[in-house]
A and B are shown apart, each in its own frame.
Chain A
Amino acid sequence: GESVGLHLPTLSVQEGDNSIINCAYSNSASDYFIWYKQESGKGPQFIIDIRSNMDKRQGQRVTVLLNKTVKHLSLQIAATQPGDSAVYFCAENTLGGNKLTFGTGTQLKVEL
Chain B
Amino acid sequence: GAVVSQHPSWVICKSGTSVKIECRSLDFQATTMFWYRQFPKQSLMLMATSNEGSKATYEQGVEKDKFLINHASLTLSTLTVTSAHPEDSSFYICSARASWGVETQYFGPGTRLLVL
Q: Do A and B bind each other?
A: yes
Interface of A is mostly: loop
Partner of A7, one of B41, B93, B95: B41
Asked if A43 and B110 sit within 8 Å, CB to CB, the answer is yes
For residue B106, CB closer than 8 A to chain A, the reply is yes
Q: Interface range on chain B: under 10, 10 to 19, 20 to 34, or 35 or more?
A: 20 to 34
Closest to B109 in A: A43
Choose, from A14-22, A53-61, A69-77, A98-106, the stretch at the interface. A98-106
Closest to A45 in B: B107
For residue A95, CB closer than 8 A to chain B, the reply is yes
For residue B54, CB closer than 8 A to chain A, the reply is no
Which of chain B's residues have a CB closer than 8 A to the CB of A98? 32, 49
For residue B112, CB closer than 8 A to chain A, the reply is yes
Q: Min CB distance, A1 to chain B, in Å?
A: 8
Closest to A97 in B: B103
Partner of A43, one of B42, B45, B46, B108: B108
Q: Min CB distance, A87 to chain B, in Å?
A: 9
Which residues of A are at the interface with B, using a C-beta cutoff of 8 A? 2-3, 6-8, 32, 34, 36, 41-46, 49, 89, 93, 95-100, 102-105
User: Mind listing 22 A-B residue pairs with CB under 8 Å?
Assistant: A2-B39, A2-B42, A2-B45, A6-B41, A8-B41, A41-B112, A42-B110, A43-B6, A43-B95, A43-B107, A43-B110, A44-B93, A46-B2, A46-B104, A46-B106, A89-B43, A89-B44, A96-B103, A98-B32, A99-B49, A100-B34, A100-B105
